[in-house]
Amino acid sequence: MFCPYCGNEETMVKDSRPTEDGTAIRRRRECTKCHERFTTVERLQPCEIMVMKRNGHRVPFEKEKLIRSIELAARKRPIQATQIDQIACKIEKQFIDLGENVVSSEKIGETAMHMLKDIDKIAYVRFASVYCDFKVINDFAEILQQMEHHEK
């Protein structure tokens, strides 16, 4: 931490205490060179997940975009909004917990598909049709056969 008065790199922490709301820590510091005192505030900086798109571009992860995609697949299905939000939160938390700063859109899509499969098979197939970019009717038949094979 640089001293704001003289620019010295070495400072000593004299006192630390949490802020009233508990979201940060206030530290009283003293410069070892000029002996001036100043206060710093430390806050937790959330890990930002970047999504590697299929075209190679990186964009910030948007949980709302994932929620919209799942909502579209779950339209008119017996899936509650809270379940959709839980799926998106679990996916986000999973990648944060793994410490992955860059996650491929494929990995996000596969994870969402896997979670949808356990909740609603129709929503799963709908999501898969967009995510896997189905081109012909046989693509639907193929995923249905895979589902049948896994249920046996």
Domain chopping of the chain, boundaries: 11-43, 50-151
Using the predicted structure, report yes or no on whether residue 50 has a pLDDT greater than 70.
Answer: yes
Assign 24 to helix, strand or coil. strand
Q: What is the pLDDT of residue 95?
A: 87
Letter for the amino acid at 76? K
Using the predicted structure, report yes or no on whether residue 41 has a pLDDT greater than 80.
Answer: yes
Q: What is the pLDDT of residue 100?
A: 75
Q: Taking the alpha carbons of 116, 118, 123, 126 in that order, is the dihedral positive or negative?
A: positive
62 against 147, higher pLDDT? 62
Q: What is the pLDDT of residue 133?
A: 74
The sheet that has 24-31: what strands, in order across it? 11-18, 24-31, 37-43
- H or E segment at 149? helix 137-151
Total Cβ atoms within 10 A of residue 8: 15
pLDDT in tens, 72-120: 999 999 999 999 999 998 998 888 888 778 999 999 999 999 999 889 9
Q: What is the pLDDT of residue 84?
A: 94
Using the predicted structure, report yes or no on whether residue 128 has a pLDDT greater than 90.
Answer: no
pLDDT in tens, 4-30: 999 999 999 999 999 887 878 999 999
- H or E segment at 123? helix 121-131
Q: What is the pLDDT of residue 90?
A: 92
Q: Structure tokens of 101? A: 């700063």
Pick the closest to residue 36 from 76, 81, 73, 4 (CA basis): 4
Total Cβ atoms within 10 A of residue 17: 9
Mean pLDDT, all residues of the chain: 88
Using the predicted structure, report yes or no on whether residue 150 has a pLDDT greater than 70.
Answer: no
Q: What is the pLDDT of residue 24?
A: 86
Helix/strand/coil (H, E, C) string of 31-92? ECCCCCEEEEEEECCCCCCEEECCCCCEEECCHHHHHHHHHHHCCCCCCCHHHHHHHHHHHH
